[in-house]
Amino acid sequence: MEMRFDVGAAAALGEPCHIAGTLFPPTVARDGPLVIALLVPGGGYARRYYDLHVDGHAGYSAALRLAERGIVAVAIDSLGTGESSIPEDGRRVTLDIQAATLAEVARQLREAARAGTLLPSVPAREPVVIGIGHSLGGCTITLQQGDHAVCDAVAILGFSCQYIRTAVDPKTGERLRPRIPASREGYNRSDPASHRDRFYTASVPRAVIEAEEAARVAMPDGVAEVLIPGRSAPAAARIDVPVLLGFGEFDVSPDPHAEPGFYRSSRDVTLLVLPDAAHCHNSASGRAGFWRRIGDWIDMVAAGPATA
């Protein structure tokens, strides 16, 4: 089900802005509270990252895996990408603005669940809203929660509060890989082939890599601040809800086991490291188990705090 969220006031860019999304309804009944998973893609990706379909290769849709657990999955295109609004000047689409629009989407999903208008088959009730972001999406989910605190828990996948290994020099903050100006002023894209060595391991089928690369989109220049070492660390320190951190075995964090220490206000931090995976977890050989573990974590979060 296609969705559209008005985020003009949250973006505050002086022009109409919306976020495009796709809702994947649950395919099984679920005990306990209604759970909504807000899925945010990384830089250069749109919502198809969470719902990839490749001829001859099954099982690459993370959104459908969540729906099969009775979870309402909502994948979005971040502001300035895909079918969401593309503001006139991409340099103005900063991380903070993307985070503010994410918070507004989460609020609207919560309000729709409370009003009983989210899905015809789902009666009005208070939901548990889980923000899940990959790479750049993990950064904006972190900023959203640290600055706006709209979600009940967050899963941050393939993003480091330290610095982005292989993408930036940690000492100078200098970008290590060039960007290509897009056809629209203030936007850029990259050569997908230049990322293969750090996005995929040898076990990923070439057809899957090519399908994922074909879905890549231009991104606004304003979010390049994601490469600033430690940019998200202050927001991470303010997060006081459950946090799941997920990385591939060969991912962007220089030290995945150091990442939990940045979330010192949370009393519930989980770390997962996916074997035989690089940066793009959803195409990795162990993706099914990875999303099963994330689903188990969501179940625990939705059940509420453990009691003695």
The pLDDT of residue 169 is: 81
Average pLDDT score over residue span 8-25: 98
Domains along the sequence of the chain with CATH: 2-303 (3.40.50.1820)
pLDDT tens-digit series, residues 166-176: 878 887 777 76
When pLDDT is averaged across residues 42-63 and rounded to a whole number, the result is 96
Greatest C-alpha distance within the chain:
59
Q: What pLDDT score does 191 carry?
A: 86
Summarised one tens digit per residue, pLDDT across range 129-152 is: 999 999 999 999 999 999 999 999
pLDDT surpassing 70 at residue 204: yes
Residue 49 CB neighbour total at 10 angstroms? 27
Confidence class of residue 307 from pLDDT cuts 50, 70 and 90? Answer: very low
Q: For the ranges 30-34, 102-106, 199-203, which has the lowest average pLDDT?
A: 30-34
The radius of gyration computed from the CA coordinates of the chain, to the nearest angstrom, equals 18
Q: What is the pLDDT of residue 308?
A: 42
Mean pLDDT calculated for residue range 88-112: 97
**pLDDT tens string 286-305:** 999 999 999 999 999 999 87
- The letter for the amino acid at 201 is T
Q: Rounded distance, CA 75 to CA 131, Å?
A: 10
Q: Is the pLDDT of residue 178 over 80?
A: no
**79 is written with which tokens?**
């502001």
Examine the pLDDT at 14 and tell me if it is beyond 80: yes
Query: What does the pLDDT look like over 247-275, one tens digit per residue?
Result: 999 999 999 999 999 999 999 999 999 99
Predicted pLDDT at 306:
62
232 pLDDT higher than 80? yes
Question: C-alpha 73: how far from its chain's center?
Answer: 12
Taking the C-alpha atoms of residue 90 and residue 221, their distance in angstroms, rounded to an integer, is 5
Long-range own/partner contacts, residues 292-300 (CB < 8 A, 24 or more apart): 292/65, 294/132, 294/155, 294/244, 294/246, 295/65, 295/66, 295/69, 295/71, 297/155, 297/242, 297/244, 297/270, 298/35, 298/37, 298/66, 298/69, 298/71, 298/130, 298/153, 299/32, 299/69
Cα angle 5, 12, 181; round to 5: 85
- Least Cα distance to 50 among 89, 24, 13 occurs for 24
What percentage of the chain reaches a pLDDT higher than 70?
99
Angle of helix 95-115 relative to helix 136-147, nearest 10 degrees, comes to 70
What is the C-alpha separation between 81 and 9, in angstroms, rounded?
18
Q: How confident is the model at residue 93 (pLDDT cuts 50, 70, 90)?
A: very high
